[in-house]
Each structure stands twice: as C-alpha cells, then as structure tokens.
C-alpha cells in the first residue's frame, strides 16, 4: 500500500467499485477487467486502475480481476471485515427513518441504540427493534454495546453539544445530519450530510437552464455521482 495521502474521493470510489463487483458476483461473473467495469457501470477504467494501485497489485495482465478476490480485498480495505455498531442521537423522524433503513448490510453496520433528550421518546423502540435511551446514559451504553459510529440527527443548536458528548464517550467517527458545521478533536472523523445544501444546489441548476456542461464541471463535487472522478 502506498504511503501517500489517499483522498476521500478515492475511498468513496472504492465503495462504488465494491457495489459493482457485488452485482457481478450475484450474476455469476467470476472474472472482470477495469475496461469491462467501466463499460458496464459507466465508470472510468483509468481511474479504477489508478485507485486500486494505491492499495497493491490486483489482477493479472491480460486476464483481469478475480471478482471474488477483489471483493474480499476491497471489503478489508474499507474495514467491512468487521461489524460496526452505530448509535443515533435524535429519535425524531430522521433518526427513526435511519434506524429503520434496510439498506444497511447487517454484516457490516448495525444500529445498536438510539438516544434522545425528550422523555416522551425515551423508552420507545423503532420498527427495527432499536431502543431509545436517554442521552445521559449514552457513555455507558456506547461502551456496553461497543458503538463505534455516532450519527447526529438533532437541531442545529444542539448538534455541537451532542458531538462533544459522543467524542467524550470515545466515538471517533461521526455522521452529522444537522445543518451546521461542527468542530471536533484531532483524530475524530466527521462527515456532514447537509440536505439543504444539496437541494439548494439542485435548485440552482434547474433555474439556470442555460448553464453549459463546461460551466457545470467547474463546481466542487458534493454528491455520490460526482466522486467518480477527481
């Protein structure tokens, strides 16, 4: 594995490649190539090869990649060879929707607990069976349930305090849905999912029909579709 800094866009593309490989495996395909992946899934073959070389040598020249082996390698690189337990702070509509989301592969991610300050929500259980605890109990439950990822689904004015509570409990990976930028300690990975910014970006493009493709390409990538090249 190369020692140079690997961009977050590269890591995000690995997730895309893994999903493509999963589809191929489900279809019974055992061998593929960067060119075949690019053609079938609208990717960039040169980008695929470049991204993979950060992590080692994969495939055989003239033969391609073994789908099963490459899936295993990418899963390990992405840390998907273990189960990550997730805690959600905020048991409102968004928090409950995430707790009930069926898109999480239980072999990789499991929502272990929810937390809220509102006593009327404490004691509830999501449809998927996740219990809502009072936020004052967060630290011992994080330790008991081995929670490693925290998700913030609270109003903006409460988000920083929640982030501090999560960090104090030993959480080093946080996904923030509150519409505010947060500060965290060094060593804590924070990802912001600001839905308002995404809608405002879409609003700009649909109200500017004369915007050319060349103009559009100048904008900073901010969505899953735009990570496919950098």
d(Cα 124, Cα 206) in Å, to the nearest integer?
A: 41
If one compares 119 and 208, the residue with the highest pLDDT of the two is 119
- Statement: residue 4 has pLDDT above 70: no
What lies within 8 Å, CB to CB, of 20 at 6+ separation is: 37, 40, 41, 43
Total residue count of the chain as it appears in this document: 230
- Statement: residue 135 has pLDDT above 50: yes
pLDDT of residue 89: 98
Contact 59, 112 (CB under 8 A): no
Q: How many CB atoms lie within 10 A of CB 129?
A: 9
pLDDT of residue 152: 98
Domain extents in the chain: 8-77, 84-196
pLDDT of residue 217: 47
pLDDT of residue 195: 84
Contact 43, 20 (CB under 8 A): yes
Nearest to 98 by CA among 158, 150, 170: 150
CATH fourth-level superfamily of 84-196 = NAD(P)-binding Rossmann-like Domain (3.40.50.720)
When the candidates are 1.10.10.10, 3.40.50.2300, 2.30.42.10, 3.20.20.70, the CATH number that belongs to 8-77 is 1.10.10.10
Contact 214, 29 (CB under 8 A): no
The backbone torsions φ and ψ at residue 141, rounded to the nearest 5 degrees and listed phi first, read -75, -35
The model's confidence at residue 215, banded by pLDDT at 50, 70 and 90, is low
Q: Which of 32-41, 112-121, 189-198 has the lowest mean pLDDT?
A: 189-198
Instruction: List, in sequence order, every residue forming a beta bridge with 85; answer none if it has no partner.
Output: 110, 147
* Residue-averaged pLDDT of the chain: 89
Q: Which DSSP string do the residues of 87-117 spell out, in sequence order?
A: EEE--SHHHHHHHT-TTS-TTTEEEEEEEES
**Model pLDDT for residues 100-125, shown as the tens digit of each residue:** 999 888 899 999 999 999 999 999 99
Instruction: Reduce the secondary structure of 42-54 to three states and give it as a string.
Output: CCCHHHHHHHHHC
pLDDT of residue 194: 85
pTM of the predicted model as reported, rounded to 2 decimal places: 0.83
pLDDT of residue 211: 55
The model's confidence at residue 205, banded by pLDDT at 50, 70 and 90, is confident
**Model pLDDT for residues 62-105, shown as the tens digit of each residue:** 789 999 999 999 999 999 999 999 999 999 999 999 999 998 88
If one compares 227 and 140, the residue with the highest pLDDT of the two is 140
Contact 66, 25 (CB under 8 A): no
For residue 17, count CB atoms less than 10 angstroms from its CB and return exposed for 0-12, middle for 13-18, buried for 19 or more: buried
**Model pLDDT for residues 137-190, shown as the tens digit of each residue:** 999 999 999 999 999 999 999 999 999 999 999 999 999 999 999 999 999 999
What is the rounded radius of gyration, in angstroms, for the C-alpha atoms of the chain? 20
pLDDT of residue 209: 64
Q: Where are the alpha helices (DSSP H) in 126-216?
A: 138-145, 156-168, 195-206, 213-216
d(Cα 138, Cα 131) in Å, to the nearest integer?
A: 12
């Amino acid at each position: 594995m190369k020692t140079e800094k690997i961009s977050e866009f590269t890591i995000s593309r690995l997730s895309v490649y893994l999903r493509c490989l999963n589809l191929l495996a489900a279809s019974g395909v055992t061998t593929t190539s960067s060119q075949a992946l690019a053609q079938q899934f609208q990717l960039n073959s040169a980008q695929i090869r470049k991204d993979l070389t950060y992590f080692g040598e994969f495939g055989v020249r003239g033969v391609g990649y073994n789908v099963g082996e490459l899936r295993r390698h990418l899963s390990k690189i992405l840390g998907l060879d273990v189960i990550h337990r997730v805690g959600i702070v905020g048991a409102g509509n968004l928090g409950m929707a995430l707790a009930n989301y069926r898109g999480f592969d239980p072999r990789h991610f499991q929502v272990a607990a929810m937390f809220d300050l509102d006593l009327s929500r404490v004691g509830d259980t999501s449809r998927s069976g996740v219990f809502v605890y009072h936020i004052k109990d967060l630290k011992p439950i994080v330790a008991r349930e081995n929670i490693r990822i925290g998700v913030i689904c609270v109003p903006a004015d409460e988000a920083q305090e929640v982030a501090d509570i999560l960090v104090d409990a030993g959480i080093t990976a946080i996904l923030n849905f509150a519409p505010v930028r947060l500060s965290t300690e060094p060593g804590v990975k924070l990802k912001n999912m600001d839905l308002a910014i995404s809608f405002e970006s879409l609003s700009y493009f649909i109200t500017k029909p004369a915007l050319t493709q060349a103009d559009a390409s100048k904008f900073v990538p901010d969505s899953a579709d735009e990570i496919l090249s950098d």
